[in-house]
DNA sequence: AAATTGAGTTCCAAATAATGGAATAACAGC
DNA sequence: GCTGTTATTCCATTATTTGGAACTCAATTT
């Protein structure tokens, strides 16, 4: 309710797709922009590179980076370039291990994986992104960080669209207004209008598809999952290659996905108490 | 050399076992102490709990926590308690996916796992802790975050002791002086003297054992791995239950572990160039 | 060898943000 | 409706951050 709305409002500011803007968190906000810059780059950055990207005075930037280094949030590689620091791993490991949503969902994800033989994901909406909390893949030991923890856009993933279908009208419109669409494939939504139309449909049906919208050749069917207090708004999905997962098959799997989602929510009611 | 020593000096300040002290990073340092507090707790904390732990004035603490919330580094659960934020996952996922050390070591870890059938770890020294960068376990899909990213003490793990054996005398003594020993099992080192003696031995032999020092019933054999520029100082290990891994068997495995470590270092020389 | 360029670091008065004590608000239990 | 507990807001004081310029260092060119 109130708590939920304020949560979404705040979240609007965070971890979007495009421009990383300074938030109203003073010194911390400025440092997080830098951390974002370095972690989102696909290679270590030299001081001068960051100088150009951050648009800050040299002296200021230098001290900011020094602080981030000293805290272990950034590291210098052998060539004096800035890379993400390993201390982040420790923080994240704890954040993940303790996450209630994930802990409760885990057995149900495994069940769903067993039933379908395909990869199952759990994701949660944070700001404009879906953060993947878990992944169960039958075949080989999973390279987990490669998927878990990854933030993906909400407008072109099954879990993302399922999650959006849970938002109240007002919050949804605000969120969509802030999106900047990247056309990952020919099927990616590129306007808030068509996306909104699909989300309205999803809200009625109770499940969502990803028709190769994020990655060519990859489809999924997803169902929304939420905690009663709305602190978790997300979804679960069955994902796989288009050649194996026909749209017809995905439509059949809508039911088991929704059932699994229902069981997760029931477990949450039991384990977290009636208020949540 | 110089760069390396300063790296270790700085690292001395970070992520130790015991007291979390304020570093000289101004506002950021104070906020990181709070983030540490919340992520290292084993349950979400209420405002008042943090107030007692942090020993800060109410107003100050409240604003600091608000900033951390707004940045997504912390989150409020349904009961208004502070928990680690999921934005940390996104940072960590990127940090992990790009880590050169891990990328290069990965195939050799798999080989070692295949050869022995036991769990193989890759860890790197950061401050007084070993941060596990990778884990290859043959049997079931791995719950990765549960191990990867975890920071463990350097004085009671095979990888940790192997890593310490790579430090120059001066740096080692400084690091040991800053340790506070927790006796996890009956075999855990509890003094710098006995630890130093063992590390000297490890430096000569080229491999280290964990004789149930961190967790009862768990043994390992480890070999040190380092990059030429010393920006990575760590090790790899074969770990398993004591009933299956006799000390005799571990002694036999010292050779393959050392060979794998050698291959990782050779690959690093090739891939990272002669200076690193 | 001297000069030049590019990259990174240090310095310090002015501008800005953080501090913390006290007052206020929200809420659960009685 | 009161009471104790917990959380939030306020604002003059204080400490930190800022950013332009000067400086160092190493590599490259003249």
Judge residue B199's burial from the number of C-beta atoms within 10 Å of its C-beta, 0-12 exposed, 13-18 middle, 19 or more buried.
Answer: buried
Range with lowest mean pLDDT among B3-17, B197-211, B212-226: B3-17
A226 Cβ contact list (under 8 Å, min separation 6): A166, A232, A233, A234, A265
pLDDT, mean of residues B212-226: 95
The Å distance, CA of B59 to C1' of D9, is 9
How many Cβ atoms are within 10 Å of A66's Cβ, its own excluded? 14
**Residue B213, token pair as written in the block:** 């020092």
**DSSP-derived secondary structure letter, A187:** T
| Residues of chain A contacting B79 with CB distance shorter than 8 Å | 275-276
pLDDT in tens, A155-168: 999 999 999 999 99
Q: pLDDT per residue over A113-151, tens digit each?
A: 999 999 999 999 998 999 999 988 866 544 444 578 889
* Residue in the structure block whose two tokens are 């100082």: B233
pLDDT of residue A8: 36
Distance between the alpha carbon (CA) of B2 and the C1' atom of C1, Å: 29
Cβ separation of A25 and B71 shorter than 8 Å?
Answer: yes
Nucleotides of C under 7 A from a protein CB: 6-12, 17-23
Are residues A28 and B86, on separate chains, in Cβ contact within 8 Å? no
Sequence-distant (≥ 6) Cβ neighbours of residue B103 within 8 angstroms = none
Lowest mean pLDDT among A78-82, B38-42, B155-159, B161-165: A78-82
Q: What's the rounded mean pLDDT across residues B120-126? A: 95
Give residue-wise pLDDT tens across range B49-105. Answer: 999 998 888 999 999 999 999 999 999 888 889 999 999 999 998 888 888 899 999
Chain A CA closest to residue B138: A141
CATH architecture of the region A2-90 = Orthogonal Bundle (1.10)
Whether B35 shows a pLDDT value over 70: the answer reads: yes
Least confident residue range of A12-21, A71-80, A186-195, A254-263: A12-21
Q: Which of A23, A24, A92, A233 to mutate to probe the B interface, most B CBs <10 Å?
A: A92
Strands B82-84 and B74-76: antiparallel
**Cα separation of the two ends of chain A:** 12
Mean pLDDT of chain B: 86
- Region B145-150 average pLDDT: 73
Chain B residues touching A275 at Cβ < 8 A = 78-79
The pLDDT of residue A67 is above 70:
yes
Q: What share of chain A has pLDDT > 90, as a percent? A: 67
Is the CB atom of residue A27 positioned under 7 angstroms from any atom of strand C?
yes
Q: Closest approach of chain B CAs to the CA of A150, in angstroms?
A: 5
Residues of A in contact with B86 (CB under 8 A): 95, 99, 124, 126, 131, 133
- pLDDT of A2 above 60: no
For A187-209, write each residue's pLDDT tens digit: 999 999 999 999 999 999 999 99
- The residues spanned by each domain of chain A are 2-90, 99-272
B74: closest CA among A74, A32, A103? A32
Residues A118, A239 contacting (CB under 8 angstroms):
yes
Q: Using an 8 Å Cβ cutoff, are B52 and B39 in contact?
A: no
Q: Which residues, listed in sequence order, are joined to residue B218 by a DSSP beta bridge?
A: B241
Q: In this predicted structure, what is the pLDDT of residue B274?
A: 58
Q: What is the mean pLDDT of residues B225-237?
A: 89
Is the predicted pLDDT of residue B138 greater than 80, yes or no?
Answer: no
Predicted confidence (pLDDT) at residue A234 exceeds the cutoff of 90: yes
A80 in contact with nucleic chain C (CB within 7 A): yes
Residue B52 tokens read as: 């007692």
A59 touches strand C (CB under 7 A): yes
pLDDT of residue B229: 76
Residue B197 tokens, joined: 């003696």
- The CATH number fitting domain A99-272, selected from 1.10.1060.10, 3.30.450.40, 3.40.640.10, 3.50.30.30: 3.30.450.40
pLDDT at residue A140 in the model: 52
Q: Token pair 């768990």 is at which residue?
A: B218
Beta strands A119-126 and A82-84, pairing class: unpaired
């Amino acid at each position: 309710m109130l708590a939920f709305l304020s949560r979404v409002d705040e979240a609007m500011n965070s971890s979007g797709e495009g421009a990383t803007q300074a938030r109203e968190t003073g010194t911390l906000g400025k440092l997080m922009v830098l951390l974002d810059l370095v972690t989102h780059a696909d290679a270590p950055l030299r001081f001068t590179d960051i100088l150009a990207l951050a648009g800050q005075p040299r002296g200021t930037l230098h001290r900011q980076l020094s602080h981030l280094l000293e805290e272990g949030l950034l590291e210098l590689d052998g060539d004096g370039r800035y890379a993400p620091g390993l201390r982040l791993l420790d923080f994240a490991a704890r954040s993940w291990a303790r996450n209630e949503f994930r802990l409760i969902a885990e057995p149900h994800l495994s069940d769903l994986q067993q039933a379908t033989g395909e990869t199952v994901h759990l994701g949660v909406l944070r700001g404009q992104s879906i953060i993947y909390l878990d992944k169960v893949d039958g075949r080989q030991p999973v390279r987990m960080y490669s998927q878990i923890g990854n933030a993906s856009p909400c407008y072109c993933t099954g879990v993302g669209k399922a999650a959006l279908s849970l938002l109240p009208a007002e919050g949804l419109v605000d969120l969509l207004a802030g999106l900047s669409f990247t056309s990952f494939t020919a099927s990616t939504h590129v306007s808030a209008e068509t996306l909104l139309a699909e989300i309205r449909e999803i809200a009625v049906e109770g499940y969502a598809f990803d028709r190769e919208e994020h990655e060519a050749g990859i489809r999924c069917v997803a169902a929304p999952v939420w905690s009663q207090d709305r602190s978790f708004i997300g979804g679960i999905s069955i994902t796989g290659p288009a050649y194996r997962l026909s749209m017809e098959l995905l439509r059949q799997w809508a039911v088991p996905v929704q059932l699994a989602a229902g069981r997760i929510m029931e477990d949450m009611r039991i384990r977290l108490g009636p208020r949540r």
